[in-house]
Each structure stands twice: as structure tokens, then as C-alpha cells.
Amino acid sequence: MTIANPVLYNAAAAGFLAGIQSRRLQTLEANSVTPVAPIDFNSLNQAAFVFAGEVDTLIQALPSGTAATNIAKIAAANATVVPSTAAISNMAETLPPALAAICKAAWDSRSYPLYNAAGTLFAAADYQTIANACVSLFAEFAASVTVV
């Protein structure tokens, strides 16, 4: 898989993790006799990046227009040490946290994304409905954000 924009890819994964963790932490606190080890989060982390891949794919497929132009400015900022214009700087600082917040809201308090009790993780296509909702809202935000 080719990631078009690593900044947005990571923001989507972080939002997914933040949303899912809100419910998982409630469960862990209720059953706090068992210590939590980093390995307990391995499959959750894998799921976050599968979801982020689907978000990245949908962002790549956005039609040309203001949203796509503003999102492309993040890639421009990502390729330089210092953003070259105020608009690029604004997009680089505004859009990734917005995507993370949108993804967090979409996954907030949802259960762990598994097919069945055997623990089969979702594939990228299984995230398409939620990823599409996130990208649609994100594109609307990206098209309307104030650029200086």
C-alpha cells in the first residue's frame, strides 16, 4: 500500500485509537485486577493502521477542488522543513488534528472491531463506511477552513 499523506494517515490512526480506547479504558478500569501490558494493544494498533489506510485511500480519491487543494498543502508542508507560505502552514497545523478529532468521534466508545469472538480483525474494506463518513466530513471541513 502506498500512503499518499503520512501526516493524515497517522492522524486517522491516532483518532481511531483515541476513540476505541475511550471504551476499552472503561472496561480495563472496571476489571482493574489484571495489569495492562503493551502487547495487549498490539492488535488494536494493527487495526488502527488498517483503518488509516482506508481513510488515506478515500482521501486520495477526492475529486479536485478546494478540499483537495487544501489537503495537498499538507503534503507540501510535509516535504519541506519550514512551510513556504502562510496557507501551507495553516493547512499543516489545522487539518491533521481535525482529521484525528473526526476519526475519534466516529470511533468513540465503539467496541473493538472484530468479525467474531475468534478475534478476526476487520480488513480495510470493512472500514469503508465509517472511513467514508470521516473523509466526507473532513473534506467539507478542508474546503471551508480559512486560509490566510
pLDDT of residue 114: 65
pLDDT of residue 28: 59
Domains in the chain: how many in total?
A: 1
> What three-state secondary structure class fits 130?
helix
Q: Please, where are the H alpha helices in 31-84? A: 42-60, 66-78
- The domain in which residue 116 lies consists of 6-34+42-144
Residue 120 lies in a domain: yes
pLDDT above 70: residue 34: no
pLDDT of residue 31: 60
Q: Rounded mean pLDDT of 21-48?
A: 69
Residue 1 lies in a domain: no
Residue 93 lies in a domain: yes
Residue 30 lies in a domain: yes
Residue 21 lies in a domain: yes
- Selection from 133, 125, 148, 146 nearest residue 15 by Cα: 133
60-100 pLDDT per residue, tens: 888 888 788 878 877 766 666 667 777 778 788 888 999 99
22-33 pLDDT per residue, tens: 766 655 556 666
Categorize the per-residue pLDDT at 16 as very low, low, confident or very high, splitting at 50, 70 and 90: very high
Residue 98 lies in a domain: yes
Is residue 125 within a helix (H) or strand (E), and if so which, with residue range?
none
Percent of the chain at pLDDT > 90 equals: 32
Whole-Å CA distances, 38 to 41, 43, 45, 50: 6, 11, 10, 19
Residue 15 lies in a domain: yes
Residue 52 lies in a domain: yes
